[in-house]
Chain A
Amino acid sequence: MTSLLSRFGATSLTARVALGVTFLLTFGGIIVSIAAFAYGREAARSAYDRLLVGAANDIASAITVVDGNPVLELPHSAFELLALAPDDRIGYRIVGPNGQTLTGYDEIALPAGLTGYNDVFFDGAFFGEAARYVVVSRRFAERTWSGTIRVVVGQTLKARNAMAVDITRKALYVLAASGLAMMLLAVLVVRAVFNPLKRIAGGLAERDPHDLTPLDTDVPRETAMMIQALNAFMGRLDRQMDSMRHLISDTAHQLRTPVAALRAQADLFSDEQDPERKDRIVERIQTRSASLGRLLDQMLSQALVIHRGDSVRRERIDLRDVVLDVFEEGDHAVLRPDISVVPQLADQPVHVLADTTSLQEAVKNLLSNALKYGRAPVRIGTTTENGVASIWVEDDGGGPDPEILSALGTRFNQSGLSRQNSSGLGLAIAHAVARSFEGQLVLETHGDRTFRAALCFPEIKAEAA
């Protein structure tokens, strides 16, 4: 059964449509056949019932009263009418007011409780064969004779059944023809439906391997969904390739200068004879290589953040956990044991859609910036305000220079800083993380001395989760 199901999963769409249409036609066909037969029977019944009534009325109107006695000469026309059902036997009975049979078949029993004067149909038997009868009443009020005479006329059911079968058969012919037409139509429709898919596949196959531009979305609505997903996927691929390219060029750009400086110092060192100078050169080489190490760390973390921002699935996370994680990791105690870091957490969970690792990286960078350039006390915390959740680092320094702030976010802004023993990548990383998760990096100075670097994101309400 499961193998059957899995095989069905791989069945072609055409086969599925064919299967569906076949099922539909089969069940529809059965239902329509039953309906057609019911309709045929009803039509045959009403048609031949009218014949019966016609014949019965014909006979009833031929009854006359002569010399105080009802007299009847059966009208030939009535029987001609009944003979329209050529192979059916005819039963009739003329019943007088006291229930005595004036003429016809005594064998035909009247239904019980026959009182009114309306035409009454009933089913019965006629010499062992099923038959249908009608009773028509005629009232006489002559001087010499009065009373009600009932005329019962009936017929066996051969013609009715033949007509019902005939109607059903014709309906089935029409049904079969329309079923065939529907099948044909379904094939055409399926072909037409799959045409866009073929076109898309053909377009993709013909593409240059490096061409990641969006596909034409001028396609049927149902396939547009697929195309959009494909385009989004290609966009992400494109961005990742972009950032990789940038990373490579950044890395090359940023590493070239310090490595060249190191080599120069090393050259100087080998040429230098004066031990005192040599010591100074060694000291400079140490500083430079430490700075290069930091730069490498930051660049790698930036690469990590940029990569994760595009490739990692976003999760609902609590910003307070991020704060606690960073705080408990205790980098700050190693970096600047003299400065105390104070966590300030909101009472309620602060949920955003983001990636924990990226956020931790960004916050760590902000924290290390604060430790490096700011003044104690350094605070780290979360707040929510007007649907904006933020995670921030605050210190009592005046913040960076306005020109550094304005250049923030561009890729080479750190070049100016890199020559000093730090990298300016910290803010750039935070900025990139903020952007990857639809947030922003806000740098504000409160009052004279408080500088706050905050990552603000749209808050996810707890109940909306």
Chain B
Amino acid sequence: MKGILCKSIAFGLWMLATFSVPAMAAEPELVEQYGAAAAEQTLIVRSTADISVFAPVVEAFLETRSDLTLIYEQWGSNDLYTQSRAECREGEPVADVVISSGVHQMVKLVNEACAQSHVSRETEQLPAALRWRDELWGISREPAVVIYNQDLVPPAEVPKSRFDLLDLLRPANTPYAGRVATYDIERSGLGYLFAFVDAQEASTFGALQEAFVRTQAVRSCCSSDIIRSVADGRYLIAYNVLGSYAQGYQQQDDRIGIVLPTDYTLVLSRALMIPKGADNGAAATDFLDFLLSPEGRRVLRQALLISPLLETEEGAEGETLSSTALRPIGLSPALMVARDQLTRETFLKRWRVTFPGP
């Protein structure tokens, strides 16, 4: 598997020169190229998933397509949305495949006719909630979890649900003051989405927000930063962290513990779309069909993108969740509410009250 892998790291400037991205445009965080360098076809995948997490999936796909060079660009979700939208308006998409955890942004892109349609046996087997208009598909299953530092949080105090978390933060001299972290929703599309869906889902979020204000909780930008800080003990607890990253980290560093909130657990499916007019649409649909095929799902599960945490139900080990507690974030036009400019401003205004500037 490693044998055929030709891995090279390139930087944004290189990208700029080679693919003539508009000068004013945002840039990917990281770019890697897979597959034979001399292959006749090139597939450009833009994704919010960390390269290290997604690489095994890409490699498994390329094993079935030796004629393909795959360029993987890692983007921040907000940048990816802005860039994709701008390219869509200009009618010159650069990417062949766009995968984002900011599914509300993807819904908005599809709503603006930026995607092309594809129907195959694999896409038809997806549940209706995980596809929209046959232009947007949910490829992963990742829970939003609470993580904690195993050494510093006594087992009795590990919050099993949002109510437990509220109880921890309630005492005036709580040791958790200033040591609970969550996403900075202004900078992270995913964090905004989780917070927004939380606000829709239950009234708990209002109380939680109020508790965060009182205890001066910390906001942070990215999944990996938050997880590492919890492991280091800088923060004791982090709320609404993407389960796949947390579990991936936990496999190397067991200082963190993972909890699926029992009151309800949001489940995110990263959304994939093929931009309208993509240069290599045929390879893009092949990539999609591969991700949805049994083989693709197996690789995704290995990469923790289809989370094993959600499957403990059958194993009846550890903490199990009733199926009603799982709240998948479906791909529906209703998600556009989250992307609405005025709604976003109102929501963020409230957020800024909670977390005054640094």
A residues lining the B interface (CB < 8 Å): 71-76, 78-80, 82-83, 86-91, 94, 102-104, 126-129
Are A76 and B340 in contact, with the CB atoms below 8 A? Answer: no
Q: Is B111 an interface residue (CB 8 A)?
A: yes
Are A103 and B343 in contact, with the CB atoms below 8 A? Answer: yes
B residues lining the A interface (CB < 8 Å): 110-113, 128, 132-134, 200, 332-337, 340-343, 346-347
Q: Which of B110, B334, B347 contacts A73 (CB 8 A)?
A: B347
Majority SS at the chain A contact face? mixed
Q: Which of B128, B332, B342 contacts A71 (CB 8 A)?
A: B342
Residues of chain B lying within 8 A (CB to CB) of residue A71? 342, 346
Min distance, Cβ A149 to any Cβ of chain B, angstroms:
11
Min distance, Cβ B191 to any Cβ of chain A, angstroms:
18
Min distance, Cβ B68 to any Cβ of chain A, angstroms:
31
Identify the closest chain A residue to B341 (Cβ). Answer: A103
Q: Which of B134, B333, B342 contacts A90 (CB 8 A)?
A: B333
Q: Which of A72, A79, A94, A127 contacts B333 (CB 8 A)?
A: A79
Residues of chain A lying within 8 A (CB to CB) of residue B336? 79, 90
Listed residue (B113, B332, B337, B346) with the most chain A CB atoms within 10 angstroms of its CB: B337
Min distance, Cβ A150 to any Cβ of chain B, angstroms:
14
The complex places the Cα of A86 from the Cα of B111 at a distance, in Å, of 12
Q: Which of A104, A128, A129 contacts B340 (CB 8 A)?
A: A104
The complex places the Cα of A384 from the Cα of B337 at a distance, in Å, of 105
Are A89 and B111 in contact, with the CB atoms below 8 A? Answer: yes
Given A87-B132, A129-B113: A103 in contact with B200 (beta carbons within 8 A): no
Give 27 CB contacts A-B under 8 Å. Answer: A71-B342, A72-B346, A74-B342, A75-B337, A76-B200, A76-B334, A78-B337, A79-B334, A79-B335, A79-B336, A83-B333, A86-B128, A86-B332, A87-B133, A87-B134, A89-B110, A89-B133, A89-B333, A90-B333, A91-B111, A103-B342, A103-B343, A126-B113, A127-B111, A127-B112, A128-B113, A129-B113
Q: Which of A72, A82, A127 contacts B113 (CB 8 A)?
A: A127
Supply 5 further A-B pairs (C-beta < 8 A) apart from A76-B200, A79-B334: A72-B346, A79-B333, A79-B335, A87-B134, A94-B342
Are A90 and B111 in contact, with the CB atoms below 8 A? Answer: yes
The complex places the Cα of A90 from the Cα of B336 at a distance, in Å, of 9
Min distance, Cβ B79 to any Cβ of chain A, angstroms:
22
Min distance, Cβ A242 to any Cβ of chain B, angstroms:
90
The complex places the Cα of A129 from the Cα of B113 at a distance, in Å, of 9
Min distance, Cβ A10 to any Cβ of chain B, angstroms:
57
Residues of chain A lying within 8 A (CB to CB) of residue B132? 86-87
Are A74 and B133 in contact, with the CB atoms below 8 A? Answer: no
Min distance, Cβ A428 to any Cβ of chain B, angstroms:
103
The complex places the Cα of A140 from the Cα of B339 at a distance, in Å, of 26
Residues of chain A lying within 8 A (CB to CB) of residue B335? 79
Min distance, Cβ A353 to any Cβ of chain B, angstroms:
85
Residues of chain B lying within 8 A (CB to CB) of residue A128? 113
Q: Which 8 A-B pairs have the closest CB atoms?
A: A103-B342, A127-B113, A79-B334, A74-B343, A74-B337, A103-B341, A72-B342, A89-B111
The complex places the Cα of A429 from the Cα of B343 at a distance, in Å, of 118
Min distance, Cβ B327 to any Cβ of chain A, angstroms:
14
Residues of chain A lying within 8 A (CB to CB) of residue B342? 71-74, 94, 102-103
Min distance, Cβ B158 to any Cβ of chain A, angstroms:
32
Q: Which of A73, A86, A89 contacts B343 (CB 8 A)?
A: A73
Min distance, Cβ B287 to any Cβ of chain A, angstroms:
23
Identify the closest chain A residue to B334 (Cβ). Answer: A79
Q: Which of B111, B134, B337 contacts A76 (CB 8 A)?
A: B337
Q: Which of A73, A82, A88 contacts B346 (CB 8 A)?
A: A73
Are B340 and A82 in contact, with the CB atoms below 8 A? Answer: no
Q: Which of B111, B134, B334, B343 contacts A72 (CB 8 A)?
A: B343
Residues of chain B lying within 8 A (CB to CB) of residue A80? 332, 334
Residues of chain B lying within 8 A (CB to CB) of residue A91? 111
The complex places the Cα of A73 from the Cα of B350 at a distance, in Å, of 12
The complex places the Cα of A154 from the Cα of B15 at a distance, in Å, of 39
Residues of chain A lying within 8 A (CB to CB) of residue B337? 74-76, 78-79
Listed residue (A72, A89, A126) with the most chain B CB atoms within 10 angstroms of its CB: A89
Residues of chain A lying within 8 A (CB to CB) of residue B346? 71-73
Identify the closest chain B residue to A77 (Cβ). Answer: B334
Are A82 and B333 in contact, with the CB atoms below 8 A? Answer: yes
Min distance, Cβ B126 to any Cβ of chain A, angstroms:
13
Listed residue (B332, B341, B342) with the most chain A CB atoms within 10 angstroms of its CB: B342
Are A89 and B334 in contact, with the CB atoms below 8 A? Answer: no
Residues of chain B lying within 8 A (CB to CB) of residue A103? 340-343
Min distance, Cβ B128 to any Cβ of chain A, angstroms:
7
Min distance, Cβ B134 to any Cβ of chain A, angstroms:
8
Min distance, Cβ A307 to any Cβ of chain B, angstroms:
91
The complex places the Cα of A75 from the Cα of B133 at a distance, in Å, of 23
Min distance, Cβ A52 to any Cβ of chain B, angstroms:
13
Q: Which of B113, B128, B134, B340 contacts A89 (CB 8 A)?
A: B113
Residues of chain B lying within 8 A (CB to CB) of residue A129? 113
